[in-house]
Structure 1
Amino acid sequence: MNHFSRRHFLQFASAAFATLGIHPLVFQRQARRYGQALAESTPRKLALLVGINSYADQPLQGCVNDTELQRQLLIHRFGFNPKDIYILSDKEATREGILTAFEEHLIKQAKPGDIVVYHYSGHGSRIFDPEPILRGVGNTPQLNGTFVPVDGTLPAGYPDVGGSVKDIMGHTLFLLKSALQTEKVTVILDSCFAGGATRDVRFRSRDGGRNILVSPEERAYQEWWLSYLDMSPEEFVNGYRTGVAKGIALAAAAPNQLAREQNINGFQAGIFTYLLTHYLWHKDSNIDQIFKKITPEIPSYFRQVPRYEVKVGSGYQLENPYFVETPNSPAQATVIGVSGKDARLWLGGVDLRKVGAGTVFEAVGDAGRVRVVSRDGIVAAATLENAVTVGTPLQLSVEAS
Structure 2
Amino acid sequence: MTIKRRHFLIGLLASYWMMHQMAWAEPSCRQRALLIGVNQGGIVGTTTDVLLQKELLTSRLGFNRSEIVTLTDRQASRAEIEGAITEHLIKETAPGDRVLIHFSGCGTIVGEEPCLLAGDGQVIPLSTVELWLRSIDTDRLLCVIDAGYRYPGRPIVGNFRVRSVPWNGPGRLTPAEISYQERLKASLPAQSKPGIVLQAADTNQICAEATWDNFSSGIFTYVLTQQLWQMITPEALNNVQDMMRQLSLETPPLSQEQSFWQGLNSPEVGDAVILAGEGKSGELWLGGIPFYALSYYSPGSLLKTPRQLLQIKARSGLTAKFEVVGGTLPLQVGTLAQEESRTLPRNINLMLAMDMGLSRIERVDATSALSTIARTTGVTAGEQNADCVFGKDEGRYGLFTRGGVPIVDSFGSADESVSAALRRLRPRLESLLALKLLHLTLNPNSSYLGFQARINVQPSNQADSFTLFQTSTRRSPQYAPTRLPNHSLTIGDQLSCQLQNLTDTPLHIRIFCVDASYRLMSPSFVIPPYASDNVVPAQQQLIIPRPNAPVNWSVASPQGNFEVLIVVSRSPLKAITDLMAQTTGQPTNGMQVFANPLPIVLALLQDLDQGGNEDTWVLSMQKWATIGFSYRVV
For normalisation by structure 1, the TM-score amounts to 0.72
SS state of the match for residue 300, structure 2? coil
1:380 is paired with a residue whose SS is: strand
Tell me the CA shift for residue 252 of structure 1: 0.6
Q: Distance in 2 between matches of 1:300 and 1:279?
A: 14
Q: 1:257-308 CA deviation, whole Å, 9 max, x = no partner?
A: 11111023333111111111101111243x2x32321212124674432432
- In 2, are the aligned partners of 1:272 and 1:306 still within 8 Å (CA)? no
Cα gap change, 1:147/1:323 in structure 2, threshold over 3 Å: closer, same or farther?
Answer: farther
1:151 paired residue number:
120
- Displacement of 1:356 in angstroms is 1.5
Partner of 1:384: 324
- Deviations for 1:85-135, whole angstroms, at most 9, x for unmatched residues? 11000111000011111111111111111000000000111102xxxxxxx
Which residue of the partner structure matches residue 61 of structure 1? 44
Corresponding position of 1:330: 269
CA distance in 2, matches of 1:324, 1:94: 34
* Residue of structure 2 in register with 1:23 after alignment: none
Asked if the contact 2:149/2:202 (under 8 Å) is kept, the reply is no
Amino acid at match of 1:208: W
Aligned partners of 1:256 and 1:378: how far apart in 2? 32
Aligned to 2:105: 122
The 8 Å contact of residues 232 and 265 in structure 2, kept in 1 or not, is answered as no
Aligned-residue CA RMSD in angstroms?
A: 2.4
CA distance in 2, matches of 1:248, 1:330: 25
Corresponding residue for residue 339 of structure 2 = 396
Determine the structure 1 residue equivalent to 2:432.
Answer: none
Whole-angstrom distance in 2 between the partners of 1:41 and 1:346:
24
How far off is 1:181 after superposition? 1.4
Kept in 1, the 8 Å contact 2:140–2:259? The answer is: no
Q: CA deviation at 1:370?
A: 1.4
Q: Write out aligned runs for 1:52-131 (5 A).
A: 52-53=38-39, 55=40, 58-128=41-111
| Per-residue deviation, 1:215 | 3.1
Q: What letter is aligned with 2:335? A: T
Task: Please give the alpha-carbon distance, in whole angstroms, between the structure 2 residues aligned to 1:66 and 1:126.
Answer: 23
Residues 181, 245 of structure 1: CA spacing in aligned structure 2 closer, same or farther, 3 A cutoff?
closer
Label 1:322 to 1:71 Cα distance change in 2 as closer, same or farther (>3 A): farther
The within-5 A match list for 1:148-227 is: 148-152=117-121, 166-195=122-151, 196-198=154-156, 200-208=159-167, 211-227=170-186
3-state SS of paired residue (1:119): strand
Give the Cα separation in 2 of the matches to 1:384 and 1:219: 59
Q: Deviations over 1:51-87 (max 9, x none)?
A: 011x2xx231111111110100000101000100110
Compare relative contact order (CA 8 Å, sep 6+) and give the higher one, 1 or 2: 1
Match of 1:359 in 2: 301
Which structure has the larger Rg? 2
Q: How does 1:189-268 map to 2 (within 5 A)?
A: 189-195=145-151, 196-198=154-156, 200-208=159-167, 211-229=170-188, 245-268=193-216
Q: Is 2:231–2:266's contact at 8 Å kept on the other side of the alignment? A: no
Paired residue secondary structure (1:272):
helix
CA 1:109–1:301: 2 relative to 1, 3 Å: closer
Name the structure with the higher helix share.
1
3-state secondary structure, aligned to 1:397:
strand
Task: Indicate how the Cα distance of structure 1 residues 357 and 282 shifts in structure 2: closer, same or farther if over 3 A, else same.
Answer: same
Per-residue deviation, residues 201-228 of structure 1 (Å, max 9, x unmatched): 1111121278443234322321221222
- Measured at CA, do residues 175 and 110 of structure 1 come closer, stay the same or move farther in structure 2, by a change above 3 Å? same
The alignment covers a number of residue pairs equal to 310
Q: Map Cα deviations across residues 328-376 of structure 1 (whole Å, 9 max, x no partner).
A: 333111101112322110101113145221211101xx12221111111
Give the Cα separation in 1 of the matches to 2:42 and 2:296: 31
**Amino acid paired to 2:300:** G
CA distance change for structure 1 residues 336 and 284 in 2, over 3 Å: closer, same or farther? same
Per the alignment, in what secondary structure is the counterpart of residue 254 of structure 2?
Answer: strand
Contact (CA 8 Å) 1:77, 1:329: kept in 2 or not? Answer: no
Contact 2:295-2:317 within 8 A present in 1 as well: no
- Separation (CA, whole Å) in 2 of partners of 1:65 and 1:206: 20
CA distance in 2, matches of 1:126, 1:78: 34
Match of 2:32 among 37, 43, 46: 46
- 1:250-289 counterparts in 2 under 5 A? 250-285=198-233, 287=234, 289=235
Helix, strand or coil: the match of 2:54? helix
Do the aligned residues in 2 keep the contact of 1:167 with 1:214 (CA within 8 Å)? no
Counterpart AA for 1:333: A
Unaligned runs of 5+ in 2: 1-25, 342-618, 622-634
In structure 2, distance between residues paired with 1:343 and 1:320:
37
Counterpart Cα distance in 2 of 1:293 and 1:301: 12
Q: Which amino acid counterpart does residue 221 of structure 2 have in structure 1? A: T
SS in 1 for 2:134: helix
Partner SS, residue 55 of structure 2: helix
Partner Cα distance (2:44, 2:52) in 1? 14
Q: State the one-letter code of the partner of 1:45.
A: Q
